[in-house]
Amino acid sequence: MIDYAALARRPHGGRPTVPLSLSPEERARVEAAVRPATAEQRVVRRGTALLMMADGVPGTDIARLVGVHIRTVQEWRRRFEDEHPADKLVDAPRSGRPPSLSRRPTRRR
């Protein structure tokens, strides 16, 4: 986990950072999603960024620490400004062609 306590609510140039509201239950859900070693990295990045946004860390610092572009952090902030931001950590199902390969091994000749 990234230690960002020194960056939370620090004075910086630009617009003031408004912390994202996150209920204790939602925070617990996000921390649980970030914790497992088998969690997808994109979920871990988004969850870590969400926790930082809730603690008032500026977007530029979030982008630097998580390793994404500032615009990505801005998109995530818009995405998480919802009633249940923990539900927005995973990607939505996408349309497309179904898998063409079977999971069963086929016999080779």
Q: Residue 53 has what DSSP assignment?
A: H
Q: In the prediction, which pLDDT does 1 show?
A: 62
Residue of 70, 67, 68 whose CA lies nearest to 17? 70
Q: What is the pTM of this model?
A: 0.79
Q: What does the domain layout of the chain look like in residue ranges?
A: 24-88
Q: Is a pLDDT exceeding 90 seen at residue 100? A: no
Per-residue model confidence (pLDDT) at position 49:
94
The stretch 93-105 carries a mean pLDDT of 76
Are the CB atoms for 54 and 86 separated by under 8 Å?
A: no
| pLDDT per position as a tens digit, 28-60 | 999 999 988 888 899 999 999 999 999 999 999
